[in-house]
Chains A and B, each alone.
Chain A
Amino acid sequence: MIDRVIPLLYLASAVSFILALKWLSAVPTARRGVTVGAAGMALAVAGTLLKPEIVSYRWIAAAFVAGTAIGVPMAMMPMTAVPQRTALSHAFGALAAALVGTAEYYLRAPAIDRFTMGALCLEVLLGFLTFTASLMAFGKLQEVLPTRPITYRNQNVLNLSLLCSAVAAGAYLVLRPEASWLFPVFGALALAFGVLLIIPIGGADMPTVISLLNSYAGLSAAAMGFVLDNKLLIIAGALDGSSGLILSVIMCRAMNRSFTNVLFGAFGQVQPSAEAAGRTARSAAPRRRRPGGSSRRPAA
């Protein structure tokens, strides 16, 4: 009986997420969108809790309480701090994906087929990378870290080689899942790449980057869906992945910034200082305008 109900709950949850995104993209229906999105999440959680595989609820309940206790005060930050709070919030979501991937690896390690292992590596890579990158984005917007883009010699070479070694480690793990010594190295490379990815990006581009990181977190969730063979995770993750990406493209256009520029930061253009100065000056302006602009305009 329960086995028949759970897929229906998941299906309803997936539909809710689609409606949530659709309704949130128009002003009159926006609030309905949030409600439906929250309902979708509640359905997903309920469906998962009903699964017969779950033998103990003790730790889950404790984690629910702990997560709520941390999450609520975090959401009560001043409204001007929305972008960095979003960054902080999905740093946690991405970390969750990476942790689940790690747990799955150690549970199944040698007896895992290549396709699943590939998805698992993608999940862990994107999860850890998004975790540190989001923390860095948060630090920059909160002005804990210097907000201006930091560039140095051979930055591209360093970043690219780090990414390549992470991908190579992942590929090796796909071919030889029994090489468990490599797994922590793989995770560490992904974490380090996340930090380096954000260093060359200025504070003003951060909201766009956060939306992009959102998209990475979504893709990580979709990869988790392939690992666990769960269609709801795949649907929600893919929705998130593509809508996050498109949203960051749209935001770039609205702020008159080139998307590739933001995507790669000062990547590929360690340029004369005139350009760098221009970027920094530009950086300060849109940031003040954004949060204010979105609340003021409807009044007019």
Chain B
Amino acid sequence: MSQEMELGLYVFVLATFLGIEVIRRVSPLLHTPLMSLTNAISAITIVGSILVAGEQKSTLSTVLGTLAVTCSMINIVGGYLITYRMLRMFRKSGKGKP
């Protein structure tokens, strides 16, 4: 295992713990919006998709990469828009709150 991979594993494990700690005290009201936001964040696959589509190393990889960029773009747009709409609805109905 190279040093890069070892570092990657450290980053992975630490980020996993961070994810748990950050979410732990979530308000029950926000379960669905939070689900939607984690969904939007999983669209980070667009980074890999862009690389594969843009490097144009072979026809197959370009086609697959382009498809992947389309798919992750759907995920990004869908994920953030729906979270945003959900929270907007929230504020309207919660106007009485300080």
Whether A associates with B in a native complex is yes
What residues make up the interface of A, taking CB atoms closer than 8 Å to B? 17-18, 20-22, 24-27, 30-31, 33-34, 37-38, 40-41, 44-45, 47-49, 51, 53-57, 59-60, 62-64, 66-68, 70-72, 74-76, 79, 82-83, 85-86, 88-90, 92-97, 99-100, 102-104, 106-107, 115, 207, 210-211, 214-215, 217-218, 220-222, 224-247, 250-251, 254, 290-291, 294-299
A294 to B54, Cβ gap below 8 A? no
B27 to A27, Cβ gap below 8 A? yes
B54 to chain A: closest residue by CB: A54
C-alpha spacing A234/B48, complex, angstroms:
11
Q: Given A53-B51, A207-B32, A250-B31, A37–B15 Cβ distance below 8 Å?
A: no
A67 to B41, Cβ gap below 8 A? no
B54 to A53, Cβ gap below 8 A? yes
Among A34, A88, A299, chain B packs the most CB atoms within 10 A around the CB of A34
B6 to chain A: closest residue by CB: A115
Name the distance in Å between B60's Cβ and chain A's nearest Cβ: 6
C-alpha spacing A41/B44, complex, angstroms:
7
Q: Given A92-B75, A238-B19, A298–B48 Cβ distance below 8 Å?
A: no
A96 to B68, Cβ gap below 8 A? yes
Within 8 A of A (CB), among B61-97: 61-62, 64-87, 89-91, 93-97
What residues make up the interface of B, taking CB atoms closer than 8 Å to A? 1, 4-5, 8, 11-13, 15-20, 22-58, 60-62, 64-87, 89-91, 93-97
B48 to A93, Cβ gap below 8 A? no
7 contacts between A and B (CB under 8 A): A31-B91, A34-B84, A48-B50, A63-B69, A67-B74, A67-B76, A229-B8
B17 to A242, Cβ gap below 8 A? yes
Contacts of B86 in A (CB 8 A): 79, 82
B75 to A90, Cβ gap below 8 A? yes
Closest 7 CB pairs of A and B: A67-B73, A71-B77, A298-B94, A54-B54, A242-B19, A75-B81, A238-B15
A45 to B46, Cβ gap below 8 A? yes
| One of B8, B36, B66, B76 near A59 (C-beta < 8 A) | B66
B58 to chain A: closest residue by CB: A107
A10 to chain B: closest residue by CB: B47
